[in-house]
Amino acid sequence: MPIADKPPFMTWDDVLHALDDIEDPPREILSWASAHWDEAASRLVDRFGDFAAGRRGSIPGTEAFYIAHLSAEKGETRAYPILCRMIAQDARIADWLDDAVTETLPGILIRVFDGDAAPLRRAVESADGDEFARASALAALGYLVRAKAAMPDAAMQAFLRRIRRETPPRRDSVLWMTWAATAASLGYDAMRFEVAKLRNDGFIPGGDFNREEFDLRVELARSDASGLAGFRYDRVAPLEDATSAVLALAGAELAEAGRRLRAFAVPGKDYWR
């Protein structure tokens, strides 16, 4: 039976109970969740909002992880302000996003973007947020400036210059590495001086982002009609397939999805603990 043909014993409650592991995600259940998203989208976004608001006793982090990725695939814009708020406020966001905080979060934000760049800018600037998540937000913002005209170039350059002067942390951080890569990928050649200052001030470690890296991205931006080649070089792109993204993230192409799926047919047996 194809997974999209919902068997009588599989419900969204079953699926949420089964998606309890980001290390070994079950492919068939992810595919079913994608095919049946519309049946529960409002409920899932509401639960995601409850999770963000701190009501986490009954909503596990793994559920939030999968909702975020499925929201990206479906272009669920209602998830966008929720994610931006968590990036800004949740210093422990990596506890439930795990490696996705750097690997897939930019693509998730790009896909759920609702047209308003302000929440994303606030997330980048927030001193309360996780630095890796804020860096992912900045990478997504850069992509959206070029792909969706989320901000005029002059406004984006002013934003980049302001956060370089004012935004914490005032030390070496992945945020400043991403700042440099984003400026270059947008083709802002005139910001080479600012990148050099970040390096001289110790905000970018000496061997991590040199002038050649900056120039490469500027050249990529100029050589591509879409202006997105620099972002593609850094693997910043919309997340369009949640199942493939999660499986690649987990390194779980050979996960035992079939065993977990068959468990639904065994009454009284709990395979999920």
Across the range 111-132, mean pLDDT stands at: 98
How many Cβ atoms sit within 10 Å of the Cβ of residue 158? 12
Nearest one of 233, 182, 172 to 207, comparing CA atoms:
172
* Domain span at 74: 12-257
For the chain, the domain total comes to 1
The span from the CA of 234 to the CA of 140, in Å, is: 11
How high is the pLDDT of residue 102? 95
**C-alpha to C-alpha distances, 241 to 4, 30, 61, 93, 253, nearest whole angstrom:** 16, 10, 20, 22, 14
| 63-68: long-range contacts, CB 8 A cutoff, minimum separation 24 | 63/16, 63/19, 64/96, 65/22, 65/96, 65/97, 65/98, 65/100, 66/19, 66/22, 66/25, 66/30, 66/33, 66/242, 66/246, 68/97, 68/100, 68/108
Residue 202 counted as domain residue: yes
| C-beta separation of 132 from 92 below 8 A | no
| Whether residue 15 has pLDDT greater than 90 | no
Beta strands in the chain (DSSP E): none
Helix, strand, coil shares, percent, the chain, to 5: 65, 0, 35
pLDDT at 271: 30
Residue 270, pLDDT > 70, answer no
Whether pLDDT at 201 is above 80:
yes
Give yes or no for residue 249 having a pLDDT over 90.
no
Report the pLDDT value the prediction gives residue 6, as an integer from 0 to 100: 46
Mean pLDDT of the chain: 88
> Exposed/middle/buried for 118, CB within 10 Å: 0-12, 13-18, 19+?
exposed
Q: Is 5 among the domain residues?
A: no
Say if 268 falls within a structural domain. no
Q: Is residue 96 part of a domain?
A: yes
Q: Is residue 271 part of a domain?
A: no
pLDDT tens by residue, 204-236 = 987 788 899 999 999 999 999 999 999 999 999
In the prediction, which pLDDT does 262 show?
39
At 23 the pLDDT is 65
Q: What is the pLDDT of residues 78-104, one digit of tens each?
A: 999 999 999 999 999 999 999 999 999
Q: Is the peptide bond before 169 cis (omega within 30 degrees of 0)?
A: yes
Amino acid letter, residue 77? T
Q: What pLDDT, on the 0 to 100 scale, is given for residue 208?
A: 83
The reply to whether 198 falls in a domain is yes
Say if residue 269's pLDDT is above 50.
no
Q: How many CB atoms lie within 10 A of CB 107?
A: 24
Tell me, what amino acid is at 29? I
Confidence tier at 14 by pLDDT (50, 70, 90) = confident
3-class DSSP assignment, residue 23: coil
Residues above pLDDT 90, as percent of the chain: 73
Of 112 and 5, the one with more pLDDT = 112
